[in-house]
Amino acid sequence: MPLAEIILWLKLKRKQLGGHRFRRQYSIGRFVIDFYCPKARLAIEIDGASHFGRDAEKYDEERQDFIESLGINFLRFTNMEIYKNLDDVISEISKQLP
């Protein structure tokens, strides 16, 4: 896992966030997302350098549209948001949890 994903995973694993269980590298259809909370139907994607570029952005948009079409909420954060504003990222995730 990239460093930003490791940092966030340390906050999500073992039901640390409101008792919700998160899974990492979770498959939904033909797509894989970084983190998923089944109970909240919440997908979280961390965008590193590989996500910036025309082809990558098109793929990310297609993946997000598909996942949202299944009634799953989708949050996207950049590596820099994880590094510089982790508390805000955790707060935003918490708002999406029942």
All structural domains of the chain with their residue ranges: 3-95
Phi, psi dihedral angles at 38 (to 5 degrees) = -60, -45
Task: Please give the mean pLDDT across all residues of the chain.
Answer: 93
For the stretch 31-64, pLDDT in tens is: 999 999 999 999 999 987 655 556 778 888 999 9
- Are residues 76 and 67 in contact, defined by beta-carbon separation less than 8 angstroms? no
For range 63-72, the mean pLDDT: 97
Percent of the chain with pLDDT over 70: 94
Amino acid in position 76: R
Question: What is the homologous superfamily of the domain 3-95 according to CATH?
Answer: VSR Endonuclease (3.40.960.10)
Tell me: pLDDT of 67 over 60: yes
pLDDT value of residue 50: 59
Which residues is 32 bridged to in the sheet?
27
Q: Which of 23-27, 46-50, 87-91 has the lowest mean pLDDT?
A: 46-50
